[in-house]
């Protein structure tokens, strides 16, 4: 009996897996990350194969148009399902909204990994850059690793600007061997690749970092607003804070007041567009609150900040998709 066309296509995909990279999740971050990753891989190996997959077909089409517009001879396939993406590549990167999406994607991926020849499964590495619940990440990683494949959690710091520039920091959780294997891939999308420990450690570090950032951005907005109401020029005040003990990224890079940072272009200069969405910061603050509760670790400022972002979105829903420094705009309206 001759093998069916579908069977032959599946076999062809398996034969190409070691030369192919799949990227699942082409939101604002994923789109830029995949573009950096694929373009650098293509520059190194013109025979490399690339696969993209997203729940929104328009996202994959837009990515394909942009990537192939820059590299017309590149071999890019649009996968309609995560199953197709994992079948087509030994290297799989996922960048998804949160825990439910990660669980759903890997629930579909696992049966494919289990059905692959053992050598193919062992040759597979999954890199998840989603910011999600630590316990969910550990469970998904354990399930993937049980198939013989490798997996690391590698959430990012640096936002859309860093994703575009290829200057992200990756906070990696996983075994030493898996970290070393993922490092060469992640270095094509970022500048700092930090091994934080075992599975889930990258996420733990990311959640703690964003806990600090979420609190800082609010108090920077408060201080900038108070200073201006006291008669201080915004640029002068920002200069004082940034050269003094109050200096922090939320003020020196992401200052929420237009014209406060000479020579820089934070989101506030673009009506708070193009940054880290307030809704995503609320999600991250919620993750911090949940894990702090699980481990009985007090975060009184974190809880207050989480409630503040919740109020911002409830009372000014148009700020949900704006950069989270737009909390300043919310504060301006308070009496």
Whole-Å CA distances, 316 to 164, 265, 325 = 29, 24, 14
State how beta strands 190-197 and 168-173 pair: parallel
State how beta strands 168-173 and 156-157 pair: antiparallel
Say how many C-beta atoms besides its own lie within 10 A of residue 236's C-beta: 11
Q: Which tokens hold the place of 306?
A: 């989480």
Q: Rounded CA gap, 43 and 38, in Å?
A: 8
Strand partners, 94: 24, 128
Pseudo-torsion of CA 43, 75, 57, 203, nearest 10°?
A: -50
Active site residues: 206
Q: Rounded CA gap, 46 and 49, in Å?
A: 9
Determine which helix (DSSP H) or strand (DSSP E) holds 50, and give its type and residue range: strand 49-53
Q: Nearest Cα to 77, choosing from 87, 114, 107, 3?
A: 87
Q: Rounded CA gap, 45 and 40, in Å?
A: 9
User: What is the separation of C-alpha 114 from the centre of its chain, rounded to a whole number of angstroms?
Assistant: 27
- Give me the residue label for tokens 């091994």: 195
């Amino acid at each position: 009996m001759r093998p069916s066309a579908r069977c032959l296509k599946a076999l062809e995909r398996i034969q190409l897996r070691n030369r192919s990279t799949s990227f699942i999740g082409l939101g604002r971050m994923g789109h830029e990350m995949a573009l950096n990753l694929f373009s650098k891989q293509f520059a190194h190996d013109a025979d490399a194969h690339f696969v993209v997959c997203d729940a929104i077909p328009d996202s994959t089409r837009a990515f394909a148009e942009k990537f192939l517009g820059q590299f017309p001879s590149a071999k890019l396939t649009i996968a309609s399902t995560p199953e197709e993406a994992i079948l087509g590549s030994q290297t799989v990167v996922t960048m998804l909204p949160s825990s439910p999406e990660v669980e759903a994607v890997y629930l579909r991926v696992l049966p494919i990994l289990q059905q692959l020849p053992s050598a193919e499964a062992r040759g597979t590495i999954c890199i998840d850059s989603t910011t999600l619940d630590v316990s969910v990440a550990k469970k998904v990683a354990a399930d993937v690793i049980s198939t013989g494949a490798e997996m690391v959690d590698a959430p990012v710091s640096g936002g859309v600007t860093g994703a575009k520039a290829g200057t992200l920091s990756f906070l990696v959780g996983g075994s030493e061997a898996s970290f070393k294997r993922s490092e060469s891939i992640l270095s094509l999308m970022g500048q700092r690749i930090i091994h934080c420990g075992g599975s889930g450690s990258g996420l733990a570090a990311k959640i703690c970092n964003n806990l600090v950032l979420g609190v800082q951005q609010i108090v920077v907005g408060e201080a900038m607003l108070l200073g201006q109401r006291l008669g201080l020029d915004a640029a002068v005040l920002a200069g004082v804070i940034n050269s003094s003990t109050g200096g922090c990224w939320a003020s020196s890079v992401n200052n929420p007041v237009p014209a406060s940072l000479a020579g820089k272009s934070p989101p506030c200069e673009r009506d708070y567009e193009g940054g880290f969405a307030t809704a995503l910061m609320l999600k991250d603050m919620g993750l911090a609150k949940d894990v702090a509760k699980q481990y009985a670790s007090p975060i009184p400022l974190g809880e207050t900040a989480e409630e503040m972002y919740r109020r911002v979105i409830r009372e000014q829903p148009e700020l949900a998709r704006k950069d989270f420094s737009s909390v300043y705009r919310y504060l301006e309206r308070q009496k």
